[in-house]
A = this chain, B = another copy of it.
Amino acid sequence: MIATTVTVYVKTGFTEDFIRHTIENHKNTKKEPGNIRFDFLQSKKDPCRFLLYEVFIDEDAILQHKKTTHYNKWKEAVESWMAVPREGVPHDVICPAGEESW
């Protein structure tokens, strides 16, 4: 399993558009067989800062995700709304141990 945290800073005035498009991406990503989690969060201190918490079963599932229409539609739509390039950090999972716990 791979858990990637993607931090996104959105330009002021575009947060509502970003939220709408990311909810759509969330809904479709959750249907992918290789996806385990796709949590979408907004910082309490900075409403322009968001976090995507994406957990996929393996590298191949991430590759498949990046080929989907919904991911590419999202990526294209949000590109110009980002205040800085988004930062993705891939992680190995230590806990919960075992896929059945997810």
Name the B residues within 8 Å of A45 (CB-CB).
Answer: 89-90
A61 contacts chain B at the CB level, 8 A cutoff: no
Closest chain B residue to A92, Cβ basis:
B42
A94 contacts chain B at the CB level, 8 A cutoff: yes
Number of copies: 2
Closest chain B residue to A29, Cβ basis:
B95
**B94 touching A43, Cβ below 8 Å:** no
Name, among A43, A91, A93, the residue most crowded by chain B CB atoms within 10 Å (CB to CB): A91
Name, among A22, A38, A42, the residue most crowded by chain B CB atoms within 10 Å (CB to CB): A42
A31 contacts chain B at the CB level, 8 A cutoff: no
A93 to B40, CA, bound (A): 6
Q: Which A residues fall within an 8 A CB radius of B?
A: 2-3, 5, 19, 22-23, 26, 30, 38-45, 49, 51, 53, 89-96
4 closest A-B pairs by beta carbon, nearest first, are A41-B91, A40-B95, A26-B95, A40-B94
